[in-house]
Amino acid sequence: MDKTTIDEVCEKSEVELSHTEDEGEEEEEEEEEEESGAVEYPGTVLPDTKIEKIDHDLELTKDYEDDIDYLDLIHLKITNLKDLNLGRFTKLTSLCLRQNLIESISDLKYLNSEDIEELDFYDNRINHISSSIAKFKKLKNLDLSFNKIKNIKNIEDLTELESVYFVQNKIKEIKNLSTLTKLTNLELGGNKIEKIENLDNLVHLEQIWLGKNKISQLVNLNPLKNLKILSIQSNRLTKIEGLDELTNLEELYLSHNGISKIENLDNNPKLTTIDITSNKLTSLSNLKHLSNLTDFWCSYNQISNFEDIASELGDLQNLDTVYFEGNPIQLNNPTAYRRKLRLNLGKSLSKIDATYIK
């Protein structure tokens, strides 16, 4: 294919996204791309520089039996759901269309199966959640990660949902989730969210992932009494707070923020993992009561005192793994660092900075 032909194909692939009648007339905002944080959100997708489209999507499903319950069409440059003739698969429970070029899911209206439990559109070009999705009342898992979605909508009636994935979109506000009371896992990492809100009814939520957003404060989490995992890495936090009612919390991920003190964990005795890598700590505090702690990740802070570590972590009988690389205690004591950590921590310790103790 010569360069002219390639350029023509690329131009055709970049046509303006169409809008169905239920999707409104939202216009794309002209926003400058912000600088990425200290780390990229896992799974960042590289652009495809050689975009091609399959002219006859119908050919992709012709060899499948009508009564299949799982349809998996991954990385096939599919652009149109209607041409897949999905209506003939009346017993589908799972539809996976990852890594394609789908711009709209409005044609899900042609899917006749009422038993769909899983829809996976990870890594496409979808910019709206069409109302066509609302008919799948038995849906349990929905993945619309790595798309161009700005608003959470049209899923309010999907009350059987247990896991929802909206990673790496353009979402600014957490909303329209209050009816999803069976939700246990919510993933909203890599968006533009500035505030934690509208989660009061999600009382069965066990995991929430909010990494790489613009959140500056831990608020409105108290209703989530069953929460076990809170991940809020690469945000704008400066203080640990608002976790008083999360008595079942087991894993807390706070790396790449601006936190200067460990505090307000008095009511979180079940914590097994704390990740506070790349913050602004100069000392350790308020950890010695966490008797279930197995993993403490504190690399790239400003910890300079081994006695401080011994005081807070030395008596924790379940502590298995610590990370302190990139702190003054390691940078200033490169040869004695590991030996001194072992002397100041308990016998349960088996790993320092990803390396097992011999």
Please write the tens of the pLDDT for every residue from 72-109.
999 999 998 988 999 999 999 999 999 999 999 999 99
Cβ neighbour number for residue 287 with a 10 Å cutoff: 18
pLDDT digits (tens, 9 = 90+) for 143-156: 999 999 999 999 99
Cβ neighbours for 136, distance < 8 A, ≥ 6 positions apart: 108, 114, 116, 119, 158
Closest CA to 167 of 120, 220, 135: 120
| pLDDT recorded at residue 114 | 81
Q: Is 4 exposed, middle or buried (0-12, 13-18, 19+ CB in 10 A)?
A: exposed
The pLDDT value recorded for residue 358 is 75
φ, ψ for residue 106, nearest 5 deg: -65, -25
The sign one gets for the Cα dihedral 132, 134, 139, 145 is: positive
- The pLDDT of residue 50 is 57
Beta strands in the chain (DSSP E): 70-72, 94-96, 118-120, 141-143, 163-165, 185-187, 207-209, 229-231, 251-253, 273-275, 295-297, 321-323, 351-352, 355-356
3-state class (DSSP) for residue 356: strand
Nearest to 313 by CA among 326, 329, 333: 329
Whether residue 284 contacts residue 316, with contact meaning beta carbons closer than 8 Å, is answered with no
What pLDDT digit, counting tens, does each position of 30-54 carry?
344 444 344 444 555 566 665 555 5
Q: At what angle do helices 337-344 and 306-313 cross, to 10 degrees?
A: 30
* CATH hierarchy code of domain 1-17+37-148: 3.80.10.10
Separation in Å, CA 299 to CA 144, 303, 354? 33, 9, 11
Every domain of the chain and the residues it spans: 1-17+37-148
Contact in structure between 299 and 325 (CB atoms under 8 Å): yes
pLDDT of residue 5: 43
What SS3 class is residue 342?
A: helix
The per-residue pLDDT for 156 is 97
Provide DSSP, 252-276: EE--SS--------TT-TT--EEE-
Per-residue confidence (pLDDT) for residue 275, from 0 to 100 = 98
Query: 177 Cβ partners below 8 Å, 6+ apart?
Result: 152, 155, 164, 183, 186, 198, 199, 201, 202
What is the pLDDT at residue 51?
53
What pLDDT sits at residue 30?
Answer: 38
So what's the pLDDT on residue 49? 61
Please give the pLDDT value at position 75. Answer: 95
Low-confidence ranges of the chain (pLDDT < 50): 1-41
